[in-house]
Amino acid sequence: MLLKRLFAVFPVVFGVLQLTFLFVHLVPGDPVEVMLGESATSADRTQLRADLGLDQPLPTQFANYLGKLAKGDFGRSIHNHNEISSVLAERIPATAKLALLALAMALLIGLPLGIVAALYHLRWPDRAATLTSLTISAMPHFWLGPLLMLVFALWLGWLPVSGMESGSSIFLPALTLACGLAAILTRMTRASLLETLNEDFVRTARAKGLPERLVVLRHALKPALLPVVTVIGLQLGSLLAGAVITETVFGWEGVGRLLVESIEKRDYPVTQACVLVIALTYVLVNLATDLAYGQLDPRVRRAE
């Protein structure tokens, strides 16, 4: 089963590669023009286009690209000639660190809030948690980020505004990312737990005289978290894929920022490599989520 799913990854990634290659080359803007400027002669343009292999037909360029990729060669940046694999080796851990910390923060905030909201259904803790999660989820990252900077960096002076130079630099971008995810988790946990608390097996547990704490934690919470796991998987995929806006606002040198910069410069090989990494991340995280789902819910295992 696992092998079958792993094999299913290849056509998805191949499809992504094709589409990315096509779209990147269809977008207006020419790296040769960006590099040579407006004073260059036609001969120089032609020469550079040939040197970069951009004079070849698109299918030939794609075949060459796939050939190199098969050998693990992402190529070099058109602009600074850096090896893309080395750049990615620096950027992927930075994004992963940020995503995992954001996820941990979101879980720490979102799950307890969701549980409290469900247990105090329609009472003030529920209303407060719902209002807070709705307010936070309505804030775009490009606005929430500077707001957190203002509070934690400028007014309180606790954390650096941006950058990556100190160890504490990661907290504000991670918190920015975590807020949105925590809001989703709060609402998902609340809704799912409310539904589970009305199930027959929970009623049975209560009828057996178990304390409410045990009913919730031992019987209701685990099945209630199943849809939450799916959401976590999907959200982790997008976090690992590079939080484009947050990384740009906070000067965090991750995959998201690299992608934006490469698109601006029409640096085709870098854009393609970033999209490939993002696609692979999504596919693998979703696969891991599916597998975790099976472990959490015996019915899913049996169905498989």
Binding-site ranges for another protein (CB under 8 A)? 27-30, 33-42, 44-45, 47-48, 51, 79-81, 142, 146, 149-150, 152-154, 156-165, 168, 171, 175, 248-251, 253, 263-266
Which C-beta is closer to another protein: that of 10 or that of 143?
Answer: 143
Compare residues 30 and 212 and give the one whose CB is closer to another protein.
Answer: 30
Distance CA 235, CA 73 (A): 29
CB of 287 to another protein, least distance (A): 32
Q: Are 52 and 78 in contact (CB under 8 A)?
A: yes
Distances (CA, A) of 239 to 131, 174, 269, 278: 24, 10, 22, 10
Smallest separation (angstroms) from another protein to the CB of 30: 7
Q: Specify the residue, 106 or 197, whose C-beta has the smaller distance to another protein.
A: 106
Q: Which residues contact 226 (CB under 8 A, 6 or more apart)?
A: 192, 293, 296, 297
Report in angstroms how near the CB of residue 21 gets to another protein at its nearest: 17
Closest separation in Å from C-beta 43 to another protein: 9
Quote the least distance from Cβ 65 to another protein, whole Å.
20
Alpha helices in the chain (DSSP H): 2-26, 31-36, 42-51, 58-70, 84-119, 124-137, 141-148, 171-197, 200-207, 212-214, 221-224, 226-240, 244-249, 255-265, 268-296, 298-303
- Asked if residue 119 lies in contact with residue 186, where contact means CB atoms within 8 angstroms, the answer is no
CB of 275 to another protein, least distance (A): 16
**Whose Cβ is closer to another protein: residue 164's or residue 191's?**
164
Give the CA diameter of the chain.
87
Locus of tokens 């490939």: 276
Token readout for 140 is 């775009």
Tell me the C-alpha distance between 102 and 190, whole Å.
20
- What are residue 83's DSSP bridge partners? 76
For another protein, which is the closer residue by CB, 125 or 251? Answer: 251
Judged by CB, which is closer to another protein: 39, or 303? 39
Smallest distance from another protein to CB 145, Å:
8
Tell me whether residue 153 or residue 276 sits nearer to another protein (CB atom). 153
